[in-house]
Amino acid sequence: MSRLPQLARELRAVWMLLAVSIALAIASPVFATSGNLLNVGLATSVTALLAAGQTFVIILAEIDLSVGAVLGFTAVITATTLRHEPTVIGVLIGLAVGAAVGLVNGLLVTRARMPSFIATLAMMSVLSGLTLSVTQGNPINVTDYSFQNIGQARTAGVPVPVWIMLVVFVVFGLLLARTRYGRYVYATGDNAEAAKLSGIAVNRVKILAFMISGSLAALAGFVVTARLSTAEPTAGTGLELEAIAAVIIGGTSLAGGRGNLIGTIVGALILGVIDNGMNLLNVSPFLQSVVKGLVILFAVLLDRNAAVIRGWFPGRPSPPSLGGARQTDQLVSN
């Protein structure tokens, strides 16, 4: 029975999503229609892709502020490549650029021993400047029909970006939850020194996490560019904050060692549902930022004060958490 309270805590973002959705369905009959829900999924896909990669990094107690700039930079590189090369080449080059940026970020954090906040903030500035320099601030049109289908086509009535989002979360969710690398991520985020003593190549784990983050940011850039048929130099501006917010709302701890991709996709959906609902209710755009900020504060409050809140309900002893400590203990015992 103790498993139920643990599961409830880990999936509290699901309860938040259900509560917000029910409230909006009551407030606006349009919200619960299939067409509108597909629009929510489509609008959420980009943030969710960025947040998926960000989850790996944050579980390691690091942060990647460059994902928005990576999105814009890889979008421009891919759009330029597609003028002369087929779709597959453009996509591969874009993914390679995203992974290369992640590799540099990882090396700066592990080899140069720079705080990830500073390293990725600097990378964000560098990439944003390069993107504007290459394009002179002008958008690059994309006429490749096959590439446009990434953002505009539908399969079984569902937009392709939604399918991409779901596939990414299944694949990388399994990577995080069911593989040795995933266990290493949790162990490193929980206690990097103990993980290193147990034989884990901590630096490699971190570098690969940053490469995953960069690659998924490039994939998000494909979706944005394909939807607009244009590579906008400023397309990713501010999206890194949306991605981090989705990860935090989803229950991943900024202290590291705890989190999962199910919570992250739910966190991204919460932000998407709130945006959609406020638009349906004609809420002022200025107040929308206020509401989203309050939601983020509420999620962090729950995360940081979960033990205190549980103490308000006597007779319910707090079971041990499902964080990375258990992962570390298992690795050491093995």
Contacts of 228 (CB under 8 A, 6+ apart): 151, 235
CA 266/CA 251 separation, integer angstroms = 10
Q: Which among 320, 325, 53 is positioned nearest to 189, based on CA atoms?
A: 325
* H or E stretch at 41: helix 34-59
- CATH number, domain of 157, equals 1.10.3470
The rounded distance, in Å, linking the Cα atoms of 202 and 91 is 30
Confidence of residue 298 (pLDDT cuts 50, 70, 90): confident
How far, in Å, CA of 260 to CA of 247, rounded?
Answer: 9
pLDDT at 305 over 70: no
Tell me the residue ranges of DSSP E strands in the chain: 140-141, 154-155, 158-159, 230-231
Place of tokens 């009959």: 29
Q: Does the predicted model carry a pTM greater than 0.95? A: no
The average pLDDT across 35-62 equals: 95
- Average pLDDT of span 185-214: 96
70 in Cβ contact with 217 (< 8 Å): yes
pLDDT tens digits for 65-114?
999 999 999 999 999 999 999 999 999 999 999 999 999 999 999 999 99
Pull the structure tokens for residue 31. Answer: 């919200």
What pLDDT is attached to residue 10? 56
Maximum Cα–Cα distance for the chain, whole Å? 68
Q: Is 12 helix (H, G, I), strand (E, B) or coil?
A: helix
Kindly state the average pLDDT of the residues 157-165: 96
Which domain does 60 fall in, by range? 3-333
Whole-angstrom distance, CA of residue 18 vs CA of residue 244: 21
* Burial class of 155 by CB neighbour count within 10 A (0 to 12, 13 to 18, 19+): exposed
pLDDT at residue number 23:
92
Q: How many helices (H) and strands (E) does the chain have?
A: 16, 4
Cα torsion angle, 81, 84, 88, 92, sign: negative
C-alpha span between 91 and 225 (Å, rounded): 12
Nearest partner of 135 among 73, 81, 93, judged by Cα: 73
Structure tokens at 286: 């200025």
Q: Specify the pLDDT at position 8.
A: 54
pLDDT above 60 (res 2): no
- Dihedral-angle region of residue 199 (phi above 0 means left; psi in -120 to 50 means alpha; beta otherwise): left
How many domains does one find in the chain?
1
Q: Which long-range contacts (CB under 8 A, 24 or more apart) does 187-190 make?
A: 187/257, 187/324, 187/327, 187/328, 187/331, 188/60, 188/256, 188/324, 189/59, 189/60, 189/61, 189/256, 189/257, 189/258, 189/324, 190/256, 190/257, 190/258, 190/323, 190/324, 190/325, 190/327, 190/328
